[in-house]
Amino acid sequence: MPKVSEEYREARRDEIARAALRCLERKGVRDTSIADIVEESGLSTGAIYSHFTNKGELARYIVGRFLLPRIDGLEAAGARGDILPPRDALRGMLGVFDEAGLKASLVLQFWGEAMVEPALQEQLLTTAGRLRGSLEIAIGPWAATQTASEEDAAALAATAARSIAALAQGYIANVAVFGPREVDDYIASAITVLES
């Protein structure tokens, strides 16, 4: 039997993940089964299970493939010392929806399911913690320009990172409920409301 390359395995996992996203968007998180993903992908049950044993593993892969690279990029900018204001960090995070084709309604469904499904809840908490930590690093150089001490900069970065995450959640919920909205329009509107 020929050895399968890592590139081939990753391409197959991406194929399965895209099929899963199509199913999840159509049927919802709760009502989508592995059998539905098998049918959507055109692959065998064995092929699916050789990559993902449940929806929790699939969710981890989707987050790792589509969301974490964006977060890693923001974190790398902060680690280099790039000055990234909070609004730019928020814009960078929310850009993943257009680029990866993720639907806000699907993210919202995963959040709901995470409240009752332990594997998804674990993934949500891990991802949220990683997101906040990465945002703190990303905006750390900006925070240092706003304060007099490293301690104050760290506190500001932590508070601002939590607020950025909350604004991102607000965008996701807003788009899922009310329909598409440009990221720049959302950010400009939030700034106008908060500065009023």
- pLDDT for 21 equals 84
| 12, pLDDT greater than 90 | no
What pLDDT shows up at residue 187?
A: 94
| pLDDT(1) > 70 | no
Give the Cα separation of 6 and 18 in Å (integer). Answer: 18
**Residue-level pLDDT at 49:** 86
Average confidence (pLDDT) over 7-13: 86
CA angle 74, 174, 104 (to 5 degrees): 60
Give per-residue pLDDT as tens, 159-169. 999 999 999 99
Predicted confidence at residue 69, as pLDDT, reads 80
Tens-digit pLDDT profile for residues 172-193: 999 999 999 999 999 999 999 9
How far apart (Å, rounded) are the C-alpha atoms in residues 26 and 81?
Answer: 42
- Tell whether the model's pLDDT for residue 2 goes beyond 70: no
DSSP assignment of 4-64? PPHHHHHHHHHHHHHHHHHHHHHH-TTT--HHHHHHHHT--HHHHHTT-SSHHHHHHHHII
The pLDDT value recorded for residue 179 is 92
74-95, pLDDT tens digit by residue?
889 999 999 999 999 999 888 8
Query: How far is 38 from 180, CA to CA, in rounded Å?
Result: 30
